[in-house]
Amino acid sequence: MVDDPKKEPDSPVRPASIERRSLARHPLIVAAETLELQSGTVIKARASDLSREGCYLDTINPFPVGTVVKLSLTKEKESFEVQAKAVYSQVGMGMGLVFTAAEPEQLWILEKWLAELSGELPPESETREQDKQARAEESLKEEQQYVLNDLIIALMRKGVLSEPEGKAMLRKLHR
């Protein structure tokens, strides 16, 4: 990777062909809100890229490079909150933020989102639906077992099944 010798090393403007990110980025479109900590200025934006170290926000009026912000990304009903710093800024386009400080529970949310985006975990809504379906299937199996139990007992009482036959069936049913 070779930098353009005409550019300043810390310049926020970089040639598109130079990739400096070491971690996988994932496309993610979610609501974003940044609070500039010194002035209290709030910018509402849209996140369009997410990695373990940072994100990109689409916004017409980004903060200047070096600005420290509190960032909140909201996906469905869950929010990820972190302190971040603007490392790239282009008026009319957006800004790149690097995460600088986060609480452990916030990092857990980030890891979960990244796992979903990379396909390692199904989306949370899909997981909830699968859990709901599994509970419904388990409930149905239990109900069917009770019905079979009652049926075997009724057949034994009516003499259709002998007691040894009925008890053998009940043992198999309750394994």
47 with 117, same domain: the answer is yes
Alpha helices in the chain (DSSP H): 104-118, 124-157, 163-173
54 with 114, same domain: the answer is yes
71 with 133, same domain: the answer is no
How do residues 74-123 score in pLDDT, each as one tens digit? 998 899 999 999 999 999 999 999 999 999 999 999 998 988 888 776 55
DSSP state letter for 169? H
98 with 136, same domain: the answer is no
| Span 40-57, average pLDDT | 93
DSSP state letter for 145? H
How do residues 116-174 score in pLDDT, each as one tens digit? 888 776 555 555 666 677 777 887 888 888 888 888 888 989 999 899 998 898 888 88
Which residue in 31, 51, 27 sits closest to 43, CA to CA?
A: 31
Q: Does the pTM of the predicted model rise above 0.85?
A: no
84 with 169, same domain: the answer is no
Residue 17 vs residues 20, 94, 130, 169, 172: alpha-carbon distances, Å: 10, 18, 43, 72, 68
| Span 57-80, average pLDDT | 94
Please report whether residue 21 resides in a domain.
Answer: no
144 with 62, same domain: the answer is no
Please report whether residue 131 resides in a domain.
Answer: yes
Please report whether residue 58 resides in a domain.
Answer: yes
55 with 111, same domain: the answer is yes
Please check whether residue 75 is in contact with residue 113, taking contact to mean a CB–CB distance below 8 angstroms.
yes
Residue 75 makes CB contacts below 8 A (sequence gap 6+) with 28, 30, 113
141 with 57, same domain: the answer is no
Q: List the domain range (segments joined by +) for residue 31.
A: 26-121
97 with 169, same domain: the answer is no
31 with 107, same domain: the answer is yes
pLDDT at 137: 80
Which residue in 53, 37, 39, 26 sits closest to 118, CA to CA?
A: 26
DSSP string, 78-90: EEEEEEEEEEEEE
- For residue 26, the cross-strand partners are 50
